[in-house]
Structure 1
Amino acid sequence: MRETMKGRLADREHAEAVALNPHKGPPPPPKLRPRVIVEIAAGGAAGVLARYLLGAAIPATRTGFPWNIFTVNMLGCLAIGVLTAYLLNGRPHPLARPLAVTGYLGGFTTFSHLIDGVYTIGDGGGAGLAAVYAVASVVLGWIAIAIGLVIGRRIPRHPNEAT
């Protein structure tokens, strides 16, 4: 199963590279693609806005545990799993991954916010809680990705989208 996913990921990346840069022969040196940059920027702007709004909607707790950042990152991990499985098993537009994964989810979830939360908790005297937050974020993030992969594989597709 793991080798199949790796193969599909390599196939998907190759297909996206060909669609973004159709040419014969060895690939040219990397170039800035204006359309890809716009897609990533638009997705990133939407992701940052969603992160801000969701983070503001979740109240702070007395314990100092940053539930807002934790919730955003767990939802982002789940979405990464769903999108990855869905994009690998279908024939999405070649700009779907730059827009949705790199842009939107890159703006929605942030490692810097995770580390800021660890630092803030630890700086406030809660070294143990900071460690729990860091470990829980990583472990539960991986679990959320795994759940997302299962969900993404179960999303129905039109017959002409199947690979």
Structure 2
Amino acid sequence: MTQTLLSVALGGASGASARYLVNVTATRMMGHGFPYATLFVNVLGSLLMGVLVIVLAEKGGNRFAPFLMTGVLGGFTTFSAFSLDAVTLWERGQSGLAAAYVLGTVIMTLGALFAGMTLARGWFA
């Protein structure tokens, strides 16, 4: 239990650090007007989750799931930040942009998860 907890903590620190770097980079490149970084990490995180769920199962690597899936991807993806970003857009009076952001995020992250699973399944076919 302690080893698993430490593994999750280490993965979470790694994922959160990567998330921070994506946020800094996106803000420098595209500004503060739209939550590009949050959208990016949620889509990429969903893609990677789709790949990992298949790869770890096929290769008997489920022992790495706490570190990779709960830790790294849990620290990297930001659905709580997504929720705050959507409400912020709404409260700014940008209801159309908020709705597009929510709908776009859900559609793209689900699509990315399926894409990751399909890619990974292709590797084991």
Q: TM-score when scaled to structure 2?
A: 0.91
Counterpart of 1:129, as a letter, is L
The structure whose residues are more often helix, as a share, is 2
Consecutive aligned runs of 4 or more in structure 1 exceeding 6 Å deviation: none
Q: What is the TM-score when the length of structure 1 is the normalising length? A: 0.71
CA deviation map 1:71-95 (0-9, x unaligned): 111110100001011112111162x
Q: Is the 8 A contact 2:56 2:62 kept in 1?
A: no
Please say if 1:123 is aligned against 2:91: yes
Measure, in 2, the Cα distance between the counterparts of 1:150 and 1:93: 19
Greater gyration radius: 1
Q: 2:18 aligns to what?
A: 50
Q: Indicate the larger mover: 51-60 or 135-144.
A: 51-60
Q: Which residue of 2 aligns with 1:71?
A: 40
1:84 to 30, 33, 53: 53
CA distance in 2, matches of 1:91, 1:85: 10
- Report % sequence identity: 35
Q: 1:109 aligns with which of 51, 54, 77?
A: 77
Q: Figure out how many residues of one structure are paired with residues of the other and give that number.
A: 122
In structure 2, the gaps of 5 or more residues are: none
The C-alpha deviation readout for 1:16-66, integer Å capped at 9, x for no partner, is xxxxxxxxxxxxxxxxx100000000000000000000111013447x321
Could you list the runs of 5+ residues in structure 1 that have no partner in the other structure?
1-32, 157-163
Pair 1:144 & 2:112 matched: yes
Residue identity in the other structure for 1:44: G
